[in-house]
């Protein structure tokens, strides 16, 4: 599969082991070009230097959205087709991102996709309904 997806994870005083495990799981997907770790923490965590990701220390809390926007701009500038913004506290199944991206590639009429979200006990998490107008504003912002 072509590496046509970048991922951003925005941190604030996050646990290195947790993030390192997430990056390792993400890297099992063959479609991933780059993982950006945007660190909004007040103190640099040098442990992230050995993580298999592009660690960017901002030195201050620029905000969750601004952190992702910073990485999204890098994705656009580098001509990468897709970008995925992730929370730092997720656990991901090994090939879920490859499967989602394959589905997007096969269905050109889809512009936004997400996996089924589950609680640690396996129950499906019901997410709130998002009105289309608000979603379009988020995508265009």
Q: Does this model's pTM top 0.75?
A: yes
- Top pLDDT among 122 and 131 is at 122
Under 8 Å between Cβ of 43 and 118? no
Q: Which tens digit of pLDDT belongs to each residue from 29-73?
A: 899 999 999 999 999 999 998 889 999 999 999 999 999 999 999
- Measured at the CA of 125, the angle between CA 124 and CA 131, to 5 degrees, comes to 130
Under 8 Å between Cβ of 70 and 62? yes
Q: Which domains does the chain have, with CATH numbers?
A: 5-110 (3.90.550.10)
- The predicted pLDDT at position 112 comes to 78
């Amino acid at each position: 599969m072509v590496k046509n997806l970048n991922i951003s994870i925005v941190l604030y005083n996050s646990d290195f082991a947790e993030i390192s495990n997430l990056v390792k799981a993400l890297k099992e997907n063959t479609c991933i070009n780059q993982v950006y770790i945007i660190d909004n923490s007040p103190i640099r965590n040098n442990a992230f230097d050995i993580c298999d990701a592009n660690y960017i220390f901002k030195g201050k809390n620029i905000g969750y959205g601004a952190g992702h926007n910073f990485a999204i701009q890098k994705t656009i500038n580098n001509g990468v087709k897709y970008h995925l913004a992730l929370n730092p506290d997720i656990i991901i199944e090994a090939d879920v991102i490859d499967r989602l991206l394959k589905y997007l590639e096969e269905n050109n009429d889809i512009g936004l996709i997400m996996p089924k979200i589950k609680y640690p006990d396996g129950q499906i998490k019901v997410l709130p309904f998002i009105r289309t107008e608000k979603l379009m504003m988020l995508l265009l912002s």
